Structure 1
Amino acid sequence: MVRKEQLATDPNLISIWYHDHKVSIDVMRQMKKHLYNNFPYSRVFNDQQHLMSYLGNKLVIKHIVLILSMKNKKEVESMVKLAKHHSQRRGLNMLPCELRMCFSSSGVESIHSHIENSFNSIVKDLKQNERLSPADTTQAEDEEIPTDEAPCFDIFNSTSKDSWLYDLNNESLKFLLFQSLIEVLIRKEYNSNSLEHIWRICRRDYMSNDAQIKKINELAAAYTPEVAINYYTQNSCLFRLLSKAFRMEDVDRIYGFGCYLADLHKQLEQTGNNQRLNQSEDIKVFHRGKKVARGVAQQLKDSKGHVIALNGLLSTSTDVNVAEMFSGQGTVQSDYQSVIFEVHIDLRAAKLIRPYANIKELCAFRDESEVLFFTGFVWKIMTLNCSLILKSRDETALF
């Protein structure tokens, strides 16, 4: 199972579905699946006042696709006019994709087909709009496009998109399912064939790159469990392919890297435990800098006060200047924003299920003062200013 890219790739886009009546569980599931599969970020409303209040706020996102499920056509026209008025007051662009979608009782298959055809129409309109207005969605020449967005993991969907986080207020089941898989992988016993399988994956993916094949062979010859952290922090095939596996939610690939994940987990656990024996501070503060799509920034803003989890391993630093460098502060930005995470971990309250450690003495780039968190940490978004403050939560509450 490998996730596909969402069909609407504009990083500055949000889809909003408003329905004025109680839809069935099946229709709700189908609509959310298509919203999730086709758009970088989506919101669902069934209260007109809440929707208008949301549109009236200062949003990070700039482009909106509005989908309305309303029985009365006149009410649809009134809602579109009202939504455009609220969005224009905030300088938002309501794309020409307003869609009235009604659900009759003509049968499940007919409704499913209607939903799919409607979303196909939306995507077609979006692509046409991109061709007509390329300047709105193209990157500035000197702006680097982020390529390592961390996705959330949906065990039930085989086609979906990259996403930034789990909002555990709504997605705790998906998070727990994924962590169950990780738990199996890090506790499983492996042999030399398991490690060789990883190197075969690397060689296959870089088979046309002789320089990389040579590097892979060197890494394979020198690898021991004691260098797992060092290998992860290098600009190597292991880091790139493992990050891609998490990003695309490639279960087969993640399973194939289980041996290395187990080594990485064990070394992080041992290193972190040794460090905490000699520390006196109860609260630790770290920073992470990242350039993210506006849709991701909007999702973070909407999740203030929520409990979240970031997929994949989380790399932070004890040096805020390093975080600022990685955030791209001061560079030209169009559809992307610089975000600095201020990560608080309270050892008095947090019961750690997953390890973290200061890996400065083990990593390939010691001047980055890196602190690495294994996948599975649970955070609460406390405040959002120029930076984002995450506070550790008791992970056992979810298990």
Structure 2
Amino acid sequence: SCNKNLEKTDIIEENDELYCHACHGKKSTNFSKSDEESSTEVDDMTCQLLEHLPKELTNSCNMTKDKTALLLFEQVKGIFTNLDELIERIKADQKTRAKAEEPVGISIFNRSDKEYTHKNLKSENGSFMWFQLLIEVLICMQHSSTAKKELIDVCKRQYQNNSKELSIIDEFEDDYDSSNAVWWYTRESCLYRLLNKALRVQNIDILFSFRFFIKDMFKSLTEEHKKMKRSLTDHFIRVYRGQIISTDEFDRIQKSIGEFISINSFFSTSRNRKQALGFIRSVVSSDAIKKILFEIKVDIRLSTKPFADVTNLSYFKQEEEIIFMLGSIFRISHIDYSEQDEVWIADLTLCNENDHDLRDLFAYHKEKLGQDLTNVVSLGDILFKMGEFDKAKQYYKRILTESSMIDLTTASCYFGL
């Protein structure tokens, strides 16, 4: 027998059975092993067994004949003859399930909000605009040669008692390059979790530490986006994301039909609807949570934040994975309940950044920042106007640590403080 630990997933092989327990998925996944020589056909007993397995249990066997018959069962997710391939599939599936269950930070811009003006950044609309400006500044600003070490130090402090994560951080320190940012983001590690948490709670200090990484992700997605546009013959694509959200979050979205929604993270989707749906269908809905499938229509000709098929760059070589740049903006078309799929379906459309409803607002706030977005002091001023005094103070202090000489930037920070 063998026992392998796979980043929160345990694989145990004993005799004829292979068991997988995924801690963060809160599900046990059973994989059946069969002798290839004695099990080349799907018999009636196997079929009856599969029919009675719950949907959240995934079965895989190494039968080489009659595979088509096996794959007709919804419970059968794959057929593997190689243990390493099976393990990689389990890890990839658990990563996808974890994404579906992980909270997604969103901001909604409500055009009917009468309290919002160009100068009012205290409302939810203001938070929407603030996040867009934050991302733009992080992408445009220049970062020092010590930026990578700064992030590594942050990660080591956060995970100082976790030898496994510290080993991954050491690997990141030795091997990271701007060209493999997507590979590192899609890997199950502290980098992915720390960045997403910082984005959800808008931790300015940690986001600032990730600035070079966010910029590298932007560059990679931009390059892959260009390649994807050249390779596609159709101007429109449709992608999907299964998600578990709180009832409060669901109510916010449902009340915002026709409005803009910003996803405040890198948004991973799939061109495979069945795959995106599969990881949420087994979750039992309750008064506290809802199952929702985002169906997103994308016109690749529009001027938007970059998105791309990252199959060739990803840690997990999943097919048809499309990642949208953080802060991507969509319009909520409608939300309906699907009796057939037993989930809510939210129809979204990726928005043009030059949409007339947003263009004037972006223009106004970019003017407030000045033409040189590498000068980030004005962002602290916006935080102050939003009433986020602690964040503004934190931001000014953070900028001061980057300033190597007394200049207008330094003076402006002291003035802000």
The TM-score, its normalising length taken from structure 1, stands at 0.57
Would the aligned equivalents of 1:166 and 1:172 in 2 still touch at CA under 8 Å?
yes
Shift of 1:240: 0.5
Task: State the alpha-carbon separation in 1 of the partners of residues 246 and 319 from structure 2.
Answer: 24
Pairwise CA distance, 1:231: 0.5
Shift in alpha-carbon separation, 1:149–1:167, aligned structure 2, 3 A: farther
Change (3 A) 1:145 1:242: closer
Q: Alpha-carbon deviation of 1:147?
A: 6.3
Which deviations, in whole Å up to 9, do the C-alpha atoms of 1:324-355 show, x marking residues without a partner?
A: 133x213323221111000111234x322x11
The answer to whether structure 1 residue 302 and structure 2 residue 244 are counterparts is: no
**How far apart are residue 145 of structure 1 and its match?**
11
Q: Please, which runs of 5 or more residues in structure 2 have no aligned partner? A: 1-96, 114-123, 337-343, 363-417
Corresponding residue SS for 2:174: helix
Is 2:108 aligned against 1:166? yes
> Which letter does structure 1 place at the counterpart of 2:104?
A
Matched, 1:210 2:163: yes
- Corresponding residue number in structure 2 for 1:371: 322
- Choose which of 222, 238, 248 in structure 2 pairs with 1:285: 238
Could you say what secondary structure the match of 2:146 adopts?
Answer: helix
CA 1:185 to 1:297, structure 2 compared with 1: closer, same or farther past 3 Å? same
Which residue in 2 is equivalent to 1:92? none
**Count of matched residue pairs:** 242
Shift of 1:167: 3.0
User: What residue in structure 2 maps to residue 331 of structure 1?
Assistant: 283
Cα distance in 1 for partners of 2:349, 2:99 equals 28
- 2:135 maps to 1:193: no
C-alpha spacing 1:203/1:284, structure 2 compared with 1 (3 Å): same
In 2, the alpha carbon distance for the partners of 1:270 and 1:168 equals: 32
Partner AA of 2:102 in structure 1: D
Q: What's the CA shift for 1:358?
A: 0.5
Instruction: Provide Cα deviations, 1:76-121, integer angstroms capped at 9, x if missing partner.
Output: xxxxxxxxxxxxxxxxxxxxxxxxxxxxxxxxxxxxxxxxxxxxxx
Report the alpha carbon displacement of residue 297 of structure 1 after superposing the two structures with TM.
1.5
Describe the shift of the 1:229–1:366 C-alpha distance in structure 2 as closer, same or farther (beyond 3 A). same
Structure exhibiting the larger radius of gyration computed from Cα positions? 2
Identify which of 141, 144, 150 aligns with 2:104.
150
- Alignment pair present for 1:246 and 2:199: yes
Q: TM-score, normalised by structure 2?
A: 0.55
Counterpart residue type for residue 107 of structure 2: L
SS at match of 2:296: strand
Write the deviation string for residues 28-87 of structure 1: whole angstroms up to 9, x where unpaired.
Answer: xxxxxxxxxxxxxxxxxxxxxxxxxxxxxxxxxxxxxxxxxxxxxxxxxxxxxxxxxxxx
Structure 2 CA distance for partners of 1:145 and 1:236, relative to 1, 3 Å: closer
1:116-168 Cα deviation digits (max 9, x unpaired) = xxxxxxxxxxxxxxxxxxxxxxxxxxx999763233xxxxxxxxxxxx43234
Matched, 1:382 2:340: no
Q: 1:395 to 1:145 in 2, by over 3 A?
A: closer
Distance 2:177 2:100 in 1: 31
Alignment partners' CA distance in 2, 1:295 and 1:145: 19
Please tell me the residue identity of whatever aligns with 2:347: I
Distance 1:301 1:149, change over 3 A: same
Alignment match of 2:223 (pick from 263, 270, 276) = 270
Q: Is the 8 A contact 1:313 1:373 kept in 2?
A: yes
Partner Cα separation in structure 1 for residue 277 and residue 207 of structure 2:
30
Amino acid at match of 1:364: Y
Tell me, which stretches of 5 or more residues in structure 1 are unaligned?
1-142, 152-163
Q: Secondary structure at the match of 1:177?
A: helix
Which secondary structure state, in structure 2, belongs to the residue aligned with residue 273 of structure 1?
helix
Distance 2:233 2:275 in 1: 25
Report the CA distance shift for 1:147/1:392 in structure 2 as closer, same or farther (over 3 A): closer
Give 1:234 shift: 0.7
Q: How far, CA to CA, are the matches of 2:311 and 2:133 in structure 1? A: 29
Root-mean-square deviation (Å) = 2.1
SS across alignment from 2:133: helix
Q: Which amino acid aligns with 1:393?
A: C
8 A contact 2:100–2:242 mirrored in 1: no
